Chain A
Amino acid sequence: MANDSTITAEDPLTGDEIEVPADVEVGEIIDSPVSGAELEVVSTDPVELEEAPELEEDWGE
């Protein structure tokens, strides 16, 4: 069950309810505790997640 600092959202890959921080924002990347996949927050009201783009060769700091 989600506590005050977390809310639930659906893992788009598995359909499971997962906990995400309550202060997530659009564009934020979440690691799914169920599938292990990187998920991108595409909406916050309600929180909607999509599978994040694959790592690309020119990504980095």
Chain B
Amino acid sequence: MNVGILYSRIRRDEKLLLNELRERDHEITKIDVRKHQFNVHDPPAVFDDVDVVLDRCLSTSRSLYVTRFCEAYGIPVVNGPETAETCADKVKNSLALASAGVPTPNTDVAFTTEAALESIENFGYPCVLKPVMGSWGRLMAKLESRSAAEAILEHKETLGHYEHKVFYIQEFVAKPDRDIRVVAVDGEPIAAMARASEHWLTNAAKGAETQVFEPDEEALELVERASDAVGGGLLGIDLMETEEGYTVHEVNHTVEFKALNEVVDVDVPAAVADWLETQAAAEVTA
């Protein structure tokens, strides 16, 4: 098959995938989204021969728009624009999970600092303030006191992009010093790891230590339901352990897997390539 890769940066993750696909003798069409124009009627010529497109855009806005264009052009793209849209925005992500009955941290959204402060006081301290867009633990705030909350809200209102004036306030989940990342395809786990840190943020991008995690039945079920809730695809599903069981705090749609690949025995890029092959085959028979 001919796999189109949407990108603007080739990270280690993309390199692993490219190598795997080339080893299988698939053709690769690298599509640097910075170099093309996306017309509302006609696709760029670079899409001419692709069987399936894999979105690996690092930029959320590029990912959202180009996957939407692919869909409009009738070019199969994974993940699709609906999944991307739901996962890229923490509000839509939380709503999708909550609507599907998937346990997820209790969350308020408020549009003014006064309303946000009221939410924060209702949640009590600590609670968490997150940007609605963003990754790698950036601009996350654990609020320990009213004075800290007031200061951060003022900073966001004064200095932030308009998206920072959508205040996403979440209960603080008293998890063990780790969270769980499961990479799954259409709800079927490829592999999972725990990310441990003494810091409250346990993102691998923040330097958390990673180790293999074997999901139990409850985790497997939640992964499947969370995947369905956001529209399926190749996803990174993040869970936290609580005394009442797991809670799913986020689903990622352009999932990074290099850290996972280093700690598990599973060949993650090979499993992703297997799934891509099934996606392309499904398009041929559809």
Interface residues of A (CB under 8 A from B): 25-29, 40-41, 52, 56-61
Contacts and interface: CB of A to CB of B under 8 A. Distances in A.
B59 A58 contact: yes
B58 A25 contact: no
A59 B59 contact: yes
Contact of B255 (A25, A57, A61): A61
Interface string B215-253: 000000000000000000000100000000000000011
Contacts of A40: 9
Contacts of B134: 57-58, 60
Contacts of B254: 61
B10 A25 contact: yes
Given A25-B18, A27-B32, A28-B15, A61 B9 contact: no
Q: What does DSSP make chain A's interface, helix, strand, loop or mixed?
A: loop
B236 to A, nearest CB: 6
Contacts of B61: 58
Contacts of B9: 27-29, 40, 52
Given A59-B59, A60-B136, A29 B161 contact: no
A2 to B, nearest CB: 19
Which residue, of A27, A29, A59, A61, has the highest number of chain B Cβ atoms within 10 A? A61
Given A58-B134, A59-B135, A61-B252, A27 B30 contact: yes
Which residue, of A25, A40, A56, A58, has the highest number of chain B Cβ atoms within 10 A? A58
B115 to A, nearest CB: 24
A59 B252 CA distance: 12
Which residue, of B7, B10, B255, has the highest number of chain A Cβ atoms within 10 A? B10
Nearest to B135: A60
Interface in B17-69: 18, 30, 32, 58-61
B157 interface: no
A27 B161 contact: no
A29 B15 CA distance: 10
A33 B81 CA distance: 38
B10 A59 contact: no
A60 B131 CA distance: 13
A61 B8 contact: no
Contacts of A57: 133-134, 161
A25 to B, nearest CB: 6
B138 interface: yes
Given A26-B10, A59-B58, 20 more contacts: A25-B30, A27-B14, A27-B30, A27-B32, A28-B10, A29-B10, A29-B11, A40-B9, A41-B10, A52-B9, A57-B134, A58-B60, A58-B61, A59-B135, A60-B60, A61-B135, A61-B236, A61-B253, A61-B254, A61-B255
Contacts of A58: 59-61, 133-134
